Amino acid sequence: MSHKLQRRIIASSLSLVLAAFSTTGCTGENHEDSAHSVSPTADSLASQTSKHSAEPAESLTEKTTQSPSTKPECTTETLATSGLPSGSIPSEHETPYTYKIKENKFDPCADLSFVLLEGVFAAPSDTAAWESPMSTVVFFHQGKVIYDPSPDVYARVTEITPRGNDSFTIKLKAPGPALMSPWEDGGSVTASWIGNGLKVDKSALNPKAQINSQLYL
């Protein structure tokens, strides 16, 4: 074998070895890079999965541990349990004051609330008496009837307006001087819850607007 041919064989063998070494090295680097690039992604996915799965659990825990809303005890009171007699109120007359509710502002949680009644000292079937009904206002403190002072009876109540949270002004009409004469201004009274009781101011009342009849609640 000639020296020239030997050098070609040696050069060819070296080329094959270097090519194999280069390919192996590149492949190793690629695997290493791939391993490093995949690992953070897997960790990130695991972290995100853990985070998202924990959030609903925390929300569920918060919902579970929330205490149920409690309503004040006064909200259990109704007009039926307030102490107001149903349909009629005993009076100083032989017949009770038979009434219908004209305006209902009953509030079981208020210091002062009311119902406006319209009625007669007669039987419900007495149509002649119901042609001229009389008015009364029953007041309540936190859902219970206020017995003292007892409610007054008026010829006609035209309007009840609030003055703050615990005071009302009652506007009245009074009968005219003759049987068929027009109604007169009856003035007004103001009822207020002060301290631990009901106070009624009659300084602006036209005496003709009040009916002298006692109701017994």
- For the chain of 217 residues, list the mean pLDDT of each consecutive stretch of 10: 53 51 46 45 49 47 47 74 96 94 96 98 94 97 96 97 95 88 94 97 97 93
Q: How many CA atoms lie within 13 A of 31 on its CB side?
A: 6
Give the pLDDT confidence score for residue 1 in this predicted structure. 52
Cβ-count burial of 6 within 10 angstroms (0-12 exposed, 13-18 middle, 19+ buried)? Answer: exposed
What's the pTM value of the predicted model, to 2 decimals? Answer: 0.66
Distance CA 117, CA 114 (A): 10
DSSP-derived 3-state class of residue 102: strand
DSSP 8-state secondary structure symbol assigned to residue 84: P
Give the pLDDT confidence score for residue 77 in this predicted structure. 85
Domain boundaries, the chain: 1-66, 75-211
DSSP codes, 133-170: -EEEEEEEETTEE--SSPPPEESEEEEEEE-SSSEEEE
Apex 171 CA angle, 135 and 160, nearest 5: 80
Give the pLDDT confidence score for residue 177 in this predicted structure. 85
Distance CA 105, CA 189 (A): 18
Cβ-count burial of 143 within 10 angstroms (0-12 exposed, 13-18 middle, 19+ buried)? Answer: buried
